[in-house]
Structure 1
Amino acid sequence: MSANPDAWTDAASLDELADDDVTGLEVAGRDIAIYKVEGGVFATDNTCTHGQARLCDGFLEGHEIECPLHQGKFDVRDGRATCAPVTEALRCYPVRVEGGRVLLNLAG
């Protein structure tokens, strides 16, 4: 059975997310990092592609999350690696906000 690309999963209340910060959540059995930055909400896998550290323990500055283990950075908007030693992009998930709830498309 294939995943439904139109399936959205409720992840969190928008009010529970701090502005200009990252929150680690388990959503449908996945470790997800949700970022609330400059009025936007973004979601990626919560594990660094280089050192297996949890990104929610890292430092968020603007649209970049810094891994707490080796200080590699990713752009949370598209997952691309922006600073060595990371070279592999993060998986990103489409996000929408409805009725104050943050919804993720985990198939996207």
Structure 2
Amino acid sequence: MSRVLACSTAELPEGEALRLETSPVIALFNVGGEFYAINDRCSHGNASMSEGYLEDDATVECPLHAASFCLKTGKAMCLPATDPIATYPVFVEGDDVYVDIPEEAS
């Protein structure tokens, strides 16, 4: 794993998302003070999940196709998406938010 400093907790307000220009590109979300990281690309098409519609139940809706994904598991919650999105471990240390990216993905 490669641990990447994503941002400070103050840089990502509750209910917002941040696109991380890592390899792969990651979408980082703050839902009720909990941070979640998923692959930024929708599994159904070429859409940035960081631009999606974040819900209070820790799901995000694709901005192009209205497919919904669970931020905790990456599971596709409705059509048109059927394939999950990769999720990544997130750690908060002090005021810093880190994401672990598998070595083969970075």
Scaled by the length of structure 1, the TM-score of the pair is: 0.87
**Is 1:69 the equivalent of 2:75?**
no
Structure-2 residue corresponding to 1:46: 40
Instruction: Output one character per residue of 1:54-96: Cα deviation in whole Å (capped at 9) or x when no partner.
Output: 0111111121100011100000111000011110000000000
Structure-2 residue corresponding to 1:86: 81
Structure-2 residue corresponding to 1:59: 53
Return 5+ residue gaps in structure 2 as ranges.
none
Residue 23 of structure 1: which of 18, 22, 45 is its match?
18
Aligned length: 102
Give every structure 1 segment of 4 or more consecutive aligned residues whose post-TM-superposition deviation is greater than 6 Å: none
What is the rounded CA distance, in whole Å, between the counterparts of 2:74 and 2:38 in structure 1? 7
Scaled by the length of structure 2, the TM-score of the pair is: 0.89
Q: Which amino acid aligns with 1:69?
A: L
Structure-1 residue corresponding to 2:6: 11
% identical equivalent positions: 35
Q: Which amino acid aligns with 2:5?
A: D
Q: Which amino acid aligns with 1:46?
A: D
Root-mean-square deviation (CA), in Å? Answer: 1.4
